[in-house]
Amino acid sequence: MTSDWRCRGTRSTRPMGILAPRSLPRADPTEWTVDRVTSVRHNCGVEYAGFSWTAAARKHRVSRAQARHVVVHAGLYFVRPAAPPERPDEALLFLGDDEDGMPVEVVGVELADGRLRVIHAMPMRPGYHDLYEEAKKWRQ
Q: Could you tell me whether strands 51-53 and 116-123 are parallel, antiparallel, or unpaired per DSSP bridges? A: parallel
Q: Return the domain boundaries, the chain.
A: 6-10+34-136
| pTM reported for the whole predicted model | 0.71
Q: Encode pLDDT of 32-80 as tens digits.
A: 445 443 334 443 556 788 999 999 999 999 999 999 999 999 888 888 8
Dihedral (Cα; 41, 73, 50, 36), 10-degree rounding: 20
Distance set, CA 136 to CA 16, 20, 31 (Å): 26, 29, 19
Q: Encode pLDDT of 109-133 as tens digits.
A: 989 898 999 999 999 999 999 889 9
What DSSP string runs through 19-48?
----PPPP--GGG----GGG----SS----
